[in-house]
Amino acid sequence: MARDRSSSRVTLLLPTIFTHLIGLSITLLTLYWLVNFREGFAFTSHVKFKIFNLHPLLMILGLIIFSGEAMITYEAIPATRQTVKLIHLMFHLIALGTGTFGVYVVFKYHNELNIPHMYTLHSWIGLSTICLFGLQLLMGFVTFLFPGAKLATRARLAPWHVFFGLVIFVMVIVTAETGLTEKFIFQKLKQGQEALVVNFIGLLILVFGIFVGLIVVLSQRRK
């Protein structure tokens, strides 16, 4: 059993390293975009789009990077089962907190400019995603940590937990891609350096999502 787990981690090593590098690239490129082209961030400012800029940063860091890391570390980190569960939970809690604040920021921005709420597909998918994310986190905590279901029940529910986790992560990726597309259109970017940066962020997010899914699938096949 120990040898099988060790072999599994070796198999996952290269895609895990690559996925971490992609996640770092997404973070740095997003910061470069928002600071260099969008003039940075502010929670309170007379320049209202600085408030909005917190939204893509927090959503990308929270629901993409941190939740992706939660899924990766659960499958690849060399630690005891209980330790891995706690790390998995910690990353998801950070993701949910960051994402929730990101949603609050965009509502705040809309309120200050009297912009209608929830009128695009991006907003519909996004709010649905964060609600499902919170529900999945709550159900996972109650079932697998505290108070914890019986062993047979946990074994029966585990594949469904993984499945719905992947579904929600796909929804996260779709939300990000539709959000970037909206921003691209609203800012009338068309061509130029900023347009290239936004498109590359979208491509890297897609690649990140694919490799997170790959790591989860490979790890499930070896169990």
Distance between CA atoms of 132 and 166, rounded to whole angstroms? 12
What is the value of pTM for the model shown?
0.91
Q: For position 9, what pLDDT does the model report?
A: 57
User: How is residue 47 written in tokens?
Assistant: 């320049």
- pLDDT tens by residue, the chain, 223 residues: 444 555 555 678 889 999 999 999 999 999 999 999 999 999 998 989 999 999 999 999 999 999 999 998 877 777 777 888 889 999 999 999 999 999 999 999 999 999 999 999 999 999 999 999 999 999 999 998 888 778 888 889 998 999 999 999 999 999 999 999 999 999 888 889 999 999 999 999 999 999 999 998 888 765 5
Helix 67-76 / helix 81-113 crossing angle, nearest 10 deg: 170
Residue with structure tokens 């965009």? 106
Q: Which distant-in-sequence residues (6+ apart) come within 8 Å of 37 by Cβ?
A: 193, 194, 197
The secondary structure of residue 223, as a DSSP letter, is -
Question: Residue 93 CA to chain centroid, in angstroms?
Answer: 12
CB distance 125 to 175 below 8 Å = yes
Phi, psi of 103, rounded to the nearest 5 degrees? -65, -45
The pLDDT of residue 145 is 85
One-character DSSP codes across 69-104: HHHHHHHH--S-HHHHHHHHHHHHHHHHHHHHHHHH
For 3-22, b where at least 16 C-beta lie within 10 A, e where not — what string?
eeeeebbebbeebbeebbeb
Do 161 and 140 touch, CB atoms closer than 8 A? yes
